Amino acid sequence: MTHENLSSLLTGDLGAVVIAGAAGKDAEVITTEDVMLVTLLVDASSSIASRGLEDAVREGQNLLLDALGDARERDSILLALWTFNDKANVVHAYVSLADATRLDRRSYSGYGSTCLYDTWCDALLANVAYAEKLRESGTPCRSLVVVVTDGEDCGSKRRASACADLSRRVLASEAFTLAFVGVGSDVDFRAVAKAMGVPDGNVAVQASATPAAIRKVFQMVSQSAIRASQGLVVPGVRGGFFGP
């Protein structure tokens, strides 16, 4: 599948969440030669709260923004931030790092279930839709979608097979990097990620569900995202997002 026919995914009623997620900075005001679209999906389910990890998630996401903002590629990165529990929530679509929301007690708290599959599919479709807008305007772009979760799916309307089909199709474009981070030891996260179509080399598991481990996770994601923005991660099915 080439960049040009990813638009074949955007048929029918995409839904309000996808439409909100596909918004972003106007192509006319983008001054860089190309763009790296980073879509960060953060679990906000009740298990995050029960494990006492809310503050660590907020701090970790803030540290990620600091790290990306310090990278020399910062001007070419546009970030979309989603949280998810009973449903997906688009905190904001694609904006410059300076305009990205920093999670705090008002914008992030853990409750409800874990609609992982629905969020994944909607986020991929939103990324495709916005990327197509940029390409149509003449701005080349690459895409990174990364999810951080401490649990497996609970409550989605879609199944893992729907995620896998969509993942396969966007990875075939060789413009997408898909990554998965699992936190905790009570779920086989590698099996979950595999069922969703995420390449094994783009899966990381942090067995310790502690505040220190959460902060480490976000540090790891930021380092890998910077490597991807520098062209050191090959998009597609080959993996290597969490490489050295």
Which residues fall within 8 angstroms of residue 70, CB to CB, at 6 or more apart? none
- Given a contact cutoff of 8 angstroms between Cβ atoms, the answer to whether 181 and 149 are in contact is yes
Give the number of other CB atoms < 10 A from CB of residue 161.
12
State pLDDT tens for residues 62-75.
999 999 999 999 99
Helices (H) and strands (E) in the chain, counts: 7, 6
Q: What is the mean pLDDT of residues 78-91?
A: 96
- Determine the pLDDT at residue 238: 83
Per residue in 195-218, pLDDT (tens digit) is 999 999 999 999 999 999 999 999
Q: What is the pLDDT of residue 236?
A: 87
The residue ranking higher by pLDDT, 41 or 236, is: 41
- Whether the pLDDT of residue 180 is over 60: the answer is yes
Residues 6+ apart with CB under 8 A from 240: 201, 202, 233, 234
Between 52 and 3, the more confident residue is 52
More confident residue, 49 or 16: 49
Residue 32 confidence (pLDDT): 84
40 neighbors 64 (Cβ within 8 angstroms): yes
- All structural domains of the chain: 4-24+33-229 (3.40.50.410)
**Whether the model pTM is above 0.85:** yes
Residue 182 has pLDDT above 70, yes or no: yes
Residue 160, pLDDT > 90, answer yes
pLDDT at 15 exceeding the cut of 60: yes
| Confidence band of 126 (pLDDT split at 50, 70, 90) | very high
SS3 at position 191: helix
For residues 206 and 187, the answer to whether their CB atoms sit within 8 Å is no
Res 12 pLDDT > 70: no
More confident residue, 135 or 98: 98
176-183: strand order across its sheet: 88-96, 77-84, 35-43, 141-149, 176-183, 203-206
Which DSSP state fits 159?
-
pLDDT at 39 over 60: yes
If you average pLDDT over every residue of the chain, what do you get?
91
Q: What mean pLDDT is predicted for residues 78-90?
A: 96
